[in-house]
Amino acid sequence: MNPKSKSVGIVKTQSATFDQELKLESGQKLGPITLAYETYGVLNQSKTNAILVCHAFSGDAHAAGFHEGAKDPGWWDALIGPGKALDTEKYFIICINCIGGCKGSTGPSSINPKTGKPYALNFPLITIADMVDSQKLLIDYLGIKKLLCVIGGSMGGMQALHWVTAYPDAVQSAIPIATALKHSPQQIAFDEVGRQAIMADPYWNNGDYYDKKHPEKGLAVARMIGHITYMSDVSMEEKFSRRLKGDDYSFKFTADFEVEGYLRHRGDTFVKRFDANSYLYITKAMDYFDLSGGKFLSSKRHVDVRFLVIAFKSDWLYPAYQSQDIIRQLKIQGLDATYCEINSTYGHDSFLLEIDEESRLIKHFLDKTFRGYDIRT
Amino acid sequence: MTDTTKHLDYAIIEKIVEPGSRVLDLGCGSGELMYLLAKGKNAKVQGIELDEQAIYQCVEKGMSVFHGDIDSGLPEYPDKSFDYVILNQSLQEAKKAEFVLDNALRVGKYVIVGFPNFAHFYSRGMLLFRGKSPITESLPYRWYNTPNLHFLSISDFKDFCQRKDITVEAAYYLGENKQVYFWPNLLALNALFVITK
């Protein structure tokens, strides 16, 4: 990494509330809507340097820098900061917690103004399109007419794809990473297993648990399954092999292997920061996502958006062929696009870990988008 | 900047391409030629390249490129979506050379094909007098490490065009550092054809 790269320092999550009701894809309405967001860097006078970072399934608005007193930085700190790929000395970076989430934006754990109690399962089903529509409210509120770029991995990539489809005039470029035009049956299947694990937990109580014990066991199991799908056979071999936690087999059903201990630990820490109902709502939103069959970039208007599509060789949850499907559509539309399949062993997690390669691509792609051809000096 | 005296082929291609054209460079490598055409001819260029490291170099130059092989890179493009499709020193490495050329001719108004001439007198000499696979400046590899799958001469390519009803708009024959005008099939190391259908 660039040795001059620094952190954006101490940051705070902000929040904006929109009183209007958002008409959802399901036909239902949601409102008022609160959005938690963070920004890094400075919006220029002409408001042409704004980049929207869309987080993945379990992410949040805290993408970079440190919260007061926190030990760990935001989830994409390696990519966002002064001198980094998303250079805060040049660009104004925005990251918004998605609706349906549990980190400050309106979701099932928020108070329903009509009842004074948490929405729980009265929260309407939402889609990726609804998430994007809510993000548009904040982008409008910030006075930004055209985003320099919408970037995101996994579910964040789906949002980037939907942004250019729904608001082609409001986006100059898009960087969908490790994502797909539609959720495959395999992806839906893994999500469903996670949901069933939560709903099988007696403490889930039909989603009504906010003033009681939470369905922690079910949520932890869901997260353990998730983590398996984010790694690869090779990365698990490298990270754990068959190493034992103790000296020998215990001949009990305790966690003998390091991989078991790791998954249990990941499950246990996840339940402290994530809401089980949000897990249900957001996975369902991903499962509904489908821009295949001509729905991607279906606008009759002339679309002039540049694309950088990135996939990872060892990602079996969002395999490279799904990114190539996106590329196929871009070729048909004759759009300016770059595609790279990075040779990484980390599986789907690569988009959070394969920083050097991603940075090389993103930094120069953004340079070209912002300043034109004249970047080779 | 690229040293154009070393890249006679680039200089010729840059002359051929009309300003503002849409160009697809199949097997674009690190994007040197695309950069020349974008800067010099204000061309809208898109590359396809198999090597991952070359992809990073293209992007660093501000060039747009798809990571993939040229055999499977063309079918999605609508007819005549480019003014020029360039296959410079890449056709001989394609698995399905005929399929790639057919598709290139469908996708591009013109196709610029550059390839090493297997019938250069030095190659002929190596085979005839030494009984060995030719190694020349344009065919620098040994039999066990060459990326080339097809070996063709200028005469072979002309025959191919005639048989397939492909029109040759122009042909350029290249020696070590200048063009060759006599007995190209014997004296040229490389050839550049502009073809259309």
Residues B109-123, mean pLDDT to the nearest whole number: 94
Please name the amino acid found at residue A205: N
* Backbone torsions φ then ψ of A93, nearest 5 degrees: -100, 135
Q: Same domain, yes or no, for A168 and A210?
A: no
- Average pLDDT in the A111-116 region? 95
Q: How far, in Å, CA of A220 to CA of A191, rounded?
A: 14
Quote the minimal CA–CA distance from A264 to chain B in Å. 37
Hunting for tokens 């708009």 — which residue is that? B169
Q: What is the pLDDT of residue A302?
A: 75
Note the pLDDT of residue B6: 63
Please report the residues numbered 55 through 74 in chain B whose beta carbons come closer than 8 angstroms to any beta carbon of chain A: 55-56, 58-62, 64-68
Burial of A2 by CB count in 10 Å (0-12 exposed, 13-18 middle, 19+ buried)? middle
- Considering the domain architecture, whether residues A274 and A307 belong to the same structural domain is answered as no
For chain A, say whether B79 makes contact (Cβ under 8 Å).
no
Q: Pick the range with the lowest mean pLDDT from A94-98, A192-196, A252-256, A297-301.
A: A297-301
- Using the 3D structure, point to which of A260, A284, A308 is the last residue of a domain: A284
pLDDT at B145: 93
Q: Which chain B residues contact residue A372 at CB under 8 A?
A: 62
Quick: pLDDT tens for B125-147.
999 999 999 898 889 999 999 99
Which domain CATH number covers A70? 3.40.50.1820
How high is the pLDDT of residue A96? 98
Residue B7: pLDDT band by 50, 70, 90 thresholds?
confident
Q: What residues of chain B lie within 8 A of the CB of A306, using their CB?
A: 64
- Give the 3-state secondary structure of residue A178: coil
Find all residues with CB under 8 Å of B110, minimum gap 6, and list them: B83, B84, B85, B169, B194, B195, B196
Q: Looking at the domain assignment, is residue B34 inside a domain?
A: yes
Residue A210 lies in a domain: yes
Phi/psi for A40 (5° steps) reads: -135, 140
Residue A302 bears catalytic tag: no
Asked if the structure places residue A83 within a domain, the reply is yes
Q: Say which CATH number the domain at A250 has.
A: 1.10.1740.110
Contacts of A337 in chain B (CB under 8 A): 46, 64, 66
What is the length of chain A? 377
Instruction: Give the Å distances, CA to CA, from A310 to A102, A108, A155, B63.
Output: 28, 32, 14, 15
Q: Which of A331, A340, A364 sits opposite B60 (nearest CB)?
A: A364
Q: Do B60 and A360 touch (CB under 8 A)?
A: yes
Of B55, B59, B64, which is closest to A336 when you measure between CB atoms?
Answer: B64
pLDDT(A376) > 80: no
Nearest chain B Cα to A341, which residue? B67
Residues from chain B contacting residue A339 (CB–CB below 8 Å): 65-68
Please report whether residue B3 resides in a domain: no
A336 and A299 within one domain: yes
How many angstroms separate the CA atoms of B102 and B111, rounded?
Answer: 10
Nearest to A36 by CA among A105, A129, A124: A105
Q: Which two tokens mark B16?
A: 């051929």
Same domain, A255 and A321: no
pLDDT at A377 over 60: no
Confidence tier at A265 by pLDDT (50, 70, 90): very high
How many domains, chain B?
1
Rounded CA gap, B127 and A303, in Å? 56
Q: Based on the fold, state whether residues A52 and A162 are members of the same structural domain.
A: yes
What is the average pLDDT value for chain A, to the nearest integer?
95
Q: Are residue A279 and residue A295 in the same domain, yes or no?
A: no
pLDDT at A167 over 60: yes
H/E run at residue A292: none
What span, in angstroms and rounded, lies between the C-alpha atoms of A67 and A72? 8
Side-chain-side CA neighbours of B76 within 13 Å: the count stands at 16
Which ranges constitute the DSSP H helices of A289-373? 320-333, 350-353, 355-371
How high is the pLDDT of residue B181? 95
pLDDT at position A368: 94
The answer to the question of residue B2 being in a domain is: no
- CB atoms A364 and B62 under 8 Å: yes
Q: What is the pLDDT of residues A23-58, one digit of tens each?
A: 999 999 999 999 999 999 999 999 999 999 999 999
Lowest-pLDDT choice from A216-220, A342-346, B117-121? B117-121
Both tokens of residue A111?
Answer: 């108070």
Task: State the pLDDT at residue B4.
Answer: 45
- Residue contact A340–B35, C-beta within 8 A: no
Alpha carbons A276 and A270: distance in angstroms, whole number: 10
A79, A151: one domain: yes
The answer to whether A315 is a known catalytic residue is yes
Task: Find the CB nearest A328 among B60, B62, B76.
Answer: B76
Residue A127 predicted with pLDDT over 60: yes
Q: Nearest-CA distance from B62 to chain A in Å?
A: 5
Determine which of B2, B35, B72, B76 to mutate to test the interface with A (most A C-beta atoms within 10 Å).
B76
Q: Is residue A188 over pLDDT 50?
A: yes
Q: What does the alpha-carbon distance between residue A276 and residue A261 come to, in Å, rounded to a whole number?
A: 22
Q: Is residue A4 part of a domain?
A: no
pLDDT-based confidence at A59, cuts 50/70/90? very high
CB contact under 8 A, B65 and A338: yes
**Residue B33's pLDDT band (boundaries 50, 70, 90)?**
very high
In the block, tokens 């889609």 appear at: A127
Mark whether A249 and A265 lie in a shared domain.
Answer: yes
In a domain, A377, yes or no: no
- Give ∠ CA A80-A83-A87 in degrees, rounded to 5: 45
Task: Identify whether B161 is part of a domain.
Answer: yes
pLDDT at residue B3, rounded to an integer: 46
Check whether residue A51 and residue A153 sit in a common domain. yes
- Which residues share a beta bridge with A4? none
Q: Give the pLDDT band of residue B2 (cuts 50, 70, 90).
A: very low
**Nearest 5°: CA angle at A131, between A129 and A137?**
105
CATH number at residue B178: 3.40.50.150
Write down the pLDDT at residue A5: 62
Select from B22, B24, B64, B83 the residue whose CB has the most chain A CBs within 10 Å, as the one to mutate to test that interface.
Answer: B64
Cβ contact A360–B68 (<8 Å): no
Return phi, psi of residue A163, to 5°.
-55, -50
Percent of chain A with pLDDT over 70: 97
Q: Name the residue range of residue A178's domain.
A: 14-182+290-371
Report how far residue A286's alpha carbon sits from residue A348's, in angstroms, rounded to the nearest whole number: 15
Residue type, A94: I
- Write out the H or E segment, with its range, that includes residue A37: strand A33-40
Whole-number average pLDDT of chain B: 93
Catalytic residue among A62, A183, A214, A348: A348
- How far is Cα A104 from Cα A13, in angstroms, rounded to an integer? 9
Cβ contact, residue pair A337, B66, below 8 Å: yes
Name every residue in A having a CB less than 8 A away from some CB of B: 306, 308, 324, 327-328, 331-332, 334, 336-343, 357, 360-361, 364-365, 367-368, 372-376
pLDDT at A191 over 70: yes
Q: Specify the number of domains making up chain A.
A: 2
| Model ipTM value | 0.92
- C-alpha span between A289 and A282 (Å, rounded): 11
Is A235 a domain residue? yes
* String of DSSP letters for A68-131: TT-SS--TTTTTEETTSSEETTT-EEEEEPPTT-SSSSS-TTSEETTTTEE-GGGSPP--HHHH
Tokens in use for A229?
């799908």
- Tell me, yes or no, whether A110 and A72 share the same domain: yes
Query: Do A237 and A301 belong to one domain?
Result: no
Query: In which domain, by residue range, is B126 found?
Result: 8-196
Write the DSSP assignment of chain B as a string of letters: ---TTT-HHHHHHHHHSPTT-EEEEET-TTSHHHHHHHHHH--EEEEEES-HHHHHHHHHTT-EEEES-TTSSSTTSPTT-EEEEEEES-GGG-TTHHHHHHHHHHHEEEEEEEEE-TT-HHHHHIIIII-S----SSS---TTT--------HHHHHHHHHHTT-EEEEEEEE-SSSB--S-HHHH-SEEEEEEE-
Q: Is the domain of A192 the same as that of A240? A: yes
